[in-house]
Structure 1
């Protein structure tokens, strides 16, 4: 039994996806690039979402991926969210970048997750237990991605509600000031009609 556990444990650890969650801020006119080193048949998925923007900018970002030869293999322009998956057909360093170069004044707040599956052999030679471990790992990763997506969406909606609440508050204050100013002017104007003017 110890031999089987010692055999299954490394396979279990290899079957677990590598996952990296990040939250970054990208200044206007700038871009942030990262890389992952993959072996042939390794899998990698990148999901991202713009969670906020300063100075009233749009919630969008440019995203592109380059292979180890610096050839762009995927591009997405001005999207608030997106995902990209790849099964590497060659080993090397894959680079992915988030670009805010199209913006001249708005800083973007971006959340993104990188997760993948290391290749440990052909599916035909995988034992049923190992396949179950892989399936369970993939299911857990889907749940985690969904939770991360909901967290980002909740943050976006909360920021929108707080911004709307602030605008309503200041508009109400401005209306109150205007109302009292008009009332004071009307009283002053009406009083001027009833003033007794002395004739010398």
Structure 2
């Protein structure tokens, strides 16, 4: 029976690990999310802007009393870990309020560890499973971060290549025009003009 509980706990953690949230932040908007936490609970928020504008957003985390725990303004990526020191609802918000024109695509993960006391039946195997789940989550977050960075760099490279291609075409057109004009001009200089 105990192993069934452990197996269900591991499956729940793995399902949570597979879930990455992606939202579109429209111009002049802010999206807020909430987590109910108890004293001693740990939460980690990681986020990455993968498209739109200058790839920057504002991020804020507040405790249940509204005090600011974390603020990161006009950044494309961030990670924040904290341990709850109060019971209640913690708020984390992503804002694109400063942008008037561009939408942003944001991917983020929120994960945490709910601590149980030894009186609640935490056995060594469960402790090891929780530690393993935390390590897997850290690895997955790093992998998601690297995947998003690769996507951002690929988009930048494709944009740069397109600009180089069009600039080369424009330069070729200008050179052909100048050559044609020079041939026409030199040819006119050597034309024999008859006077009647």
TM-score by length of structure 1 reads 0.85
1:153 aligns with: 149
Match of 1:119 among 115, 118, 122: 115
1:76 aligns with: 72
2:101 aligns with: 105
Distance 1:48 1:41 in 2: 23
Query: Can you give the 5+ residue segments of structure 1 that lack an aligned partner in the other structure?
Result: none
Match of 2:132 among 129, 133, 136: 136
TM-score by length of structure 2 reads 0.86
Distance 1:40 1:148 in 2: 29
Deviations 1:73-109 (A, max 9, x none): 2211122211112222233221111112223333322
Q: Does 1:25 align with 2:24?
A: yes
Contact 1:17–1:117 (CA under 8 A) maintained in structure 2 = no
Match of 1:5 among 3, 6, 29: 3
- Alpha-carbon distance change, 4 to 108 in structure 1, aligned in 2, over 3 angstroms: closer
Distance 2:22 2:144 in 1: 11
- Alpha-carbon distance change, 188 to 172 in structure 1, aligned in 2, over 3 angstroms: same
Distance 2:158 2:182 in 1: 36
- Alpha-carbon distance change, 16 to 184 in structure 1, aligned in 2, over 3 angstroms: closer
Q: What SS does the corresponding residue of 1:198 show, helix, strand or coil?
A: coil
Q: Does 1:174 align with 2:173?
A: no
Deviates more, 1:86-95 or 1:156-165: 86-95
1:39 aligns with: 38
Distance 2:94 2:37 in 1: 20
Distance 1:99 1:156 in 2: 20
1:191 aligns with: 187
How many residues of Structure 1 are paired with residues of Structure 2 in the alignment? 195
Query: Can you give the 5+ residue segments of structure 2 that lack an aligned partner in the other structure?
Result: none
Contact 1:16–1:134 (CA under 8 A) maintained in structure 2 = no
2:59 aligns with: 63
CA shift for structure 1 position 11:
5.4
Q: What SS does the corresponding residue of 2:20 show, helix, strand or coil?
A: strand
